[in-house]
Chains A and B, each alone.
Chain A
Amino acid sequence: MPILEGQDVTKFFGGLAAVSHVDFHVDQGEILGLIGPNGAGKTTLFNLISAAIPFKSGEMRFKGHKLNGLKPHQICKLGVSRTFQETKVFANISVLQNVLVGAFFGTPTRVSAADAAREASQALEFVGLTAMSALPTKDLTMVNQKRTEVARALATKPELLLLDELMAGLTPAEVSEAMELVTRIRDKGITVFMVEHVMKAIIGICGRIMVLHHGEKIAEGTPQEIVANKKVIEIYLGEETRAGS
């Protein structure tokens, strides 16, 4: 049962098709991975879903609601939240305050201060940042800033969470922790759609993978199917990955 469906999704930057006639769907409760070479249009697709850039050509529906023409805050209130490839935390306010922004504004109905505080502290506990909640966010390490973004997104009570390269730049140990975190998010009942380059993570936790190249969808399937796909190996994975897997 798809929670998000896109048909013929297209975005041109000047004459360049960043995303070209992509049909896709995200099923309720799954972890869907999105991979592809740099410049393949992965982040652009996320930006189209979350309305960071206006979306005109094609159609997307989230739980039946048409997303065309909506503003970012409306998308968020519908139940789609996101993190950013380059972290966009509010650096000069505390970690808790970052998450409170999501808790206060992320839902369609007005949230009382007490409820927002509870929601925020739960989200921080979930990602393991309770001990740092009072610190200015700029004092946190990169991995913890990424966790802050996840907590902030979770505080908006999403049904679909878009994770844009959550694991980039993390140590192997941190990647394992992040994989476990993403799995727990899914177990909470939140559907996850993630852009990732760390193949170990993608293969380890995604139920399904979609591959973009030059804005076009070139493959889609289970991790096993994707790592065996000739086209994907040629364009993205390379022979070594195949040998290694």
Chain B
Amino acid sequence: MNITTLTSKRFLVPAVLLLVLVLLAIAPRLIGLDHINIMTDLIMWGVLAVSWVIFSAPTGYMSLATGGFFGIGLYTSAILYAREGVLLPLPACIVVGGLFSFCAALGIGAVTLRLRGIYFAMFTFGVVEFSNRFFNWFELEIMGARGRNVAVVDTATLYYIALIIVVAVMVTAYLIKRSRYGLALQGIGEHEEAAAHMGVDTTRLKILTFAISAFFMGAMGVATGPRVFYVDPTTAFNANYTFLPVLMALFGGMGQLYGPILGAVSFGYLRYYLITKVPYQYMLIFGITLVLVVVFLPQGVGGLIQRVQNRLGGLITKLRKGGPVEQHANT
């Protein structure tokens, strides 16, 4: 990366972001509510993918607890924002649900972040399964009924709420990534002991980052409650909410912050399209696409875009100078 690309990016990126945000903000006036509902769904996947990336991408700790934190959010909405009686306004519920997930992550993190690699992944996945069984038992045995209804909220409001959450999670991810803590998280991912010997309180940083990522998963869970109307343990702690964000992040590429969003939108839309148009072949086509992406685009779509950018950059330099294209080391 050189000075010219930096200066051009300084103006280009905010301009593009602003344009996208304005378009998203006026979208409910431009397109039908059905489409808005789909967009809200895609944004939800985006939030989950970005939150997952905040912790798991730099540290290399593969968390499979996304569905658990999201499920806590869904349950929060079903209890505090129930159809039978709303206890708190929705924005307050969202913050509370986020905080529930945050606290759950602090607890789970304190226990599990001593584990590395596959052990950490399996434990976190176990926590989600456990939550599923526990809530099932709790609902049936203690409450006497399984499943709860969530109060109705209009489609446009839910869309705007999701939009606010995705902006918040993107800003958070960006701030963490460019901060000293982002650097330390990278260090943890590469050589955790070395990071600790350089003064990084690795345990605290890992647990806190894990909890921050869980906050957004939980918040998004609350915001999704009114959209799914009905919450029970099996739908709330569904493994899809755990695995799809990971696949989306891989699909989009984790090198850039827009990668997971790109992955969530393209992957999410593809999934939606296949489910509605070819429900029986959906899994087959979905699976093949995934395999192709992993084989041919190991850096994800984001990586492909970077490559094209580098090529274009080289081409422009060539046209300007009239000389041969300079080979970049990173292409």
Contact = CB atoms under 8 A, between A and B. Distances in A.
Interface of A: 50, 52, 71-73, 75-77, 81-82, 84, 88-93, 97-98, 100-102, 104-107, 113, 116, 152-153, 156
B191 A100 contact: no
A106 B190 contact: no
A127 to B, nearest CB: 15
B193 A52 contact: yes
Contacts, number: 76
Contacts of B48: none
A100 B180 CA distance: 8
Interface stretch (B110-118, B197-205, B215-223, B234-242): B197-205
Contacts of B186: 90, 92-93, 97
A113 B182 CA distance: 13
A73 B193 CA distance: 10
Interface of B: 180, 183-184, 186-187, 190-191, 193-202
Given A105-B180, A113-B180, A72 B197 contact: yes
A8 B194 CA distance: 27
Contacts of A105: 180, 184, 198-201
A76 B187 CA distance: 16
Contacts of B180: 100, 104-105, 113, 116
A106 B201 CA distance: 10
A89 B197 contact: no
A187 to B, nearest CB: 23
A152 to B, nearest CB: 6
Contacts of B200: 73, 101, 105
Nearest to B202: A73
Nearest to B180: A104
Nearest to A78: B199
B197 A52 contact: yes
Given A101-B183, A104-B184, 13 more contacts: A71-B196, A88-B191, A89-B194, A90-B186, A90-B190, A93-B190, A100-B180, A101-B195, A101-B200, A102-B199, A105-B184, A105-B198, A105-B201
B198 A156 contact: yes
Nearest to B190: A90
A158 B119 CA distance: 35
A97 B183 contact: yes
B183 A93 contact: yes
Contacts of B202: 73
A50 B195 CA distance: 13
B101 to A, nearest CB: 27
B126 to A, nearest CB: 28
Contacts of A116: 180
B255 to A, nearest CB: 11
10 contacts: A72-B196, A73-B200, A73-B201, A76-B197, A88-B191, A90-B186, A101-B198, A101-B200, A113-B180, A156-B198
B116 to A, nearest CB: 15
A102 B190 contact: no
B210 to A, nearest CB: 18
B187 A90 contact: yes
A19 to B, nearest CB: 19
A81 B200 CA distance: 12
Contacts of B196: 71-73, 76
Contacts of B199: 73, 76-77, 102, 104-107, 156
Contact of A152 (B184, B190, B193, B198): B198
B49 to A, nearest CB: 21
Given A92-B186, A93-B183, A116-B180, A102 B193 contact: no
Contacts of B197: 50, 52, 72-73, 75-76, 81-82
B241 to A, nearest CB: 30
Contact of A100 (B183, B195, B201): B183
